[in-house]
Amino acid sequence: MFVPIDVDLKDHPRTKKLARSLGVCPREAQGYLLCLWQWAFKYCEDGCIDGWTETDIADGCDFSGDPVLFRTALIDAGWLDKSGKLHAWNSHAGKLFRSREKAAEKMRMFRARKKKEQGQSGVLPLRDGNVTEESESRVRVRLKREKTLWSSDDDRECFNSFWNSYPKKVQKQKAIQAWKKLGPNDLLQGMIFRDVQDKAQSDQWLKEDRQFCPHPASYLNGRRWEDEVVKEPPRDPFGFAKE
C-alpha cells in the first residue's frame, strides 16, 4: 500500500524541529516519520500508538537512539499528540483506508459477478481474470462440440478412463470414433482396461520407445485385447546368453 507524502515534508517546521531534537539532519528526520507512518498503517490503523511502548515505536521506526527521547521529540515537534494519537491521522490516513475499502469492495463485486456469469455460461476466465469475446466464443464452441459428441456423460467418462490409461496417446479423434463404433458394455470395458494395464508394462509395448505399441484407434478397431498372449522367455540375469 502506498503512503501519500507531502512534497514539503522535509522542509516543514515540524520536521526541522524533530531533526534538532534528535540531533540529525531534516532528511533523516523525514525518514523516521515515513517509517513511523508505515508502521502505524500496519499495526495501529486508528493512528493511536499509546498502547505501544517507547521501545516498540523506536524499533518500528529503525531509531537506534534513546526510545524515550524519540517519543518526546515527536510530541515536542507536534507529530504526536500527548494522548498518543498521530497528528492529523484521520484527515490523511482515513482517506487512504476508505479508498482501500472501496477498492476491495469493487473487487469482491467483480469476482461475484464473474463467478455468476461463469456458472451460467460455463466459460472459464483467462489467466489475467478477463474473458474476451474471442475466448468465450472458442469455449462455447468446444463445449457444444463435446456435448453433442457423446450420447451420455457416462460414455465420455468411460472413454476418458481408457484414454488416460493407454500408454500411447495419439490420434484422439480417431480413438473416439473407434470407441463409439465399438460401444463396449461394462463387461467388455473391464476386459479392455485389464488388457491395457497388463500390456502397458510388457516388453512388446515397451521396447524401442513403444514403437510396437499400437495406436489406441488401431487397438480398438483390431480388438487387440483378444490377441493371444505370447509368453516371453525369461531374461538372463547376467545380461548375456549362456553357451
Supply the DSSP symbol for 80. B
pLDDT score of 243 more than 50: no
Domains in the chain: how many in total?
A: 3
Considering the domain architecture, whether residues 200 and 141 belong to the same structural domain is answered as: no
- Domain final residue, candidates 106, 129, 145: 145
CB 18 within 8 A of CB 33: yes
Q: How confident is the model at residue 242 (pLDDT cuts 50, 70, 90)?
A: very low
Considering the domain architecture, whether residues 173 and 193 belong to the same structural domain is answered as: yes
Model pTM?
0.40
Considering the domain architecture, whether residues 33 and 63 belong to the same structural domain is answered as: yes
Considering the domain architecture, whether residues 167 and 218 belong to the same structural domain is answered as: yes
- pLDDT, residue 66, reads 94
Each residue of 55-112: pLDDT tens digit? Answer: 999 998 989 999 999 999 999 999 998 888 888 776 666 666 666 667 777 788 877 7
> Hunting for cell 521396447 — which residue is that?
207
CA 14 to chain centre: 46
What's the rounded Cα separation, in Å, for the pair 28 and 9? 12
Average pLDDT along the chain:
78
Considering the domain architecture, whether residues 17 and 66 belong to the same structural domain is answered as: yes
The percent of residues above 70 in pLDDT, for the chain, comes to: 72
In a domain? residue 162: yes
Amino acid identity, position 109: M
Considering the domain architecture, whether residues 155 and 220 belong to the same structural domain is answered as: yes
Grid coordinates representing 90 are 484521520
State mean pLDDT over 115-124.
60
- Domain range enclosing 173: 151-226
- Domain final residue, candidates 54, 69, 87: 87
